[in-house]
Amino acid sequence: MSLDTPIRTSFKSQSTAYGFWLTLPSAGAARSILRSTSKTPGGGFSWVLVDGEHGLIAEQNFYELATAIGHEGASPIVRVPWNEEWMIKRALDSGAHGILTPMCHSAEDARRIVKYSKYPPLGSRGYGPSYASHSIPGVQSGDQYDNNADDQLMVLVQIESRSGVENVEEIANVNGLDGLLIGPFDLAKQLGVVRGGEEHEAAIQRTLKAAKTAGKKAAIFCTDGAQARLRAEQGFDMVSIIPDQSALIEAMQRELDFAKGVEGAGERRPGKGY
């Protein structure tokens, strides 16, 4: 039997798997969002990015968040602070259905990240998944997890630097790597270009093409639903529609503006990102 994670199942049934960025260490918030959107036409969220790099989430939150997300029908993808072996191991042992590492600059970086994410002989991941299966309903610790972890758990890297873009075709072809996620904000800063400008968009499209050509998943961070819809139409396989903090701020500001009769109340504000 396979692990049948929600994100893997989603790829079989729909062209785009939608997710959101979780920056707050709140299982209740994650459950509330996932449960309230589960009846959305066409399905709810397939994945949640648990942000251990820039958000308020720390390693000790991984297990609780991964278990909560997994039992609400979505896959917890944990972004670790850096591509360190122990960080990746701790995220996977806490129940991550996949890991994301920031700032992948080269194929050598990608090969090292894959190595850290797989058990021997494919890699060097240490064995100790006593709690890892808790985030996958119906899966017990033991053979079902052990025999499928290398194939079913996702390994994703972020392309968000000049060297990452310059080497993106080689990175995309690394064996064992499942996909590339574009960090648009860091990418613009690292390239020294205007976010949303021609050079920025060219780098995004080059990364998308590299992933598709290599048969890998192309993922991207977005700041709102309109942007997410555009990226889905362009062919991105995994699209994060908004961070939790941005959604919270936008909703509270909108309702306060309505209550006070502020002119233009209800208009969208530019989103923030990573």
List active site positions: 54
The total of other beta-carbon atoms located within 10 Å of residue 70's CB is 23
- CB-based contact 239:228 (threshold 8 Å): yes
Task: List beta partners, residue 78.
Answer: 50, 99
- The structure tokens listed for 196 are 């949303």
Q: Which residues, other chains included, contact 75 with Cβ-Cβ below 8 Å and sequence gap of 6+?
A: 5, 6, 7, 8, 46, 47, 48, 69, 97, 98, 154
- Could you identify the residue written with the tokens 């090292």? 112
| Torsion on CA atoms 181, 108, 169, 22, rounded to nearest 10 | 0
- The structure tokens listed for 38 are 């589960």
Q: Which of 163, 191, 153 is nearest to 107 (CA)?
A: 163
Could you report how far apart the first and last alpha carbons of the chain are, in Å? 37
- CA separation for the pair 262, 264 (Å, rounded): 6
CB burial of 161-182 (b: ≥16 within 10 Å; e: otherwise) equals beebbebbbebbebebbbbbbb
- From residue 273, alpha-carbon distances to 66, 199, 260 in Å are 22, 19, 28
Pairing assessment for the beta strands 217-221 and 179-182 based on DSSP bridges: parallel
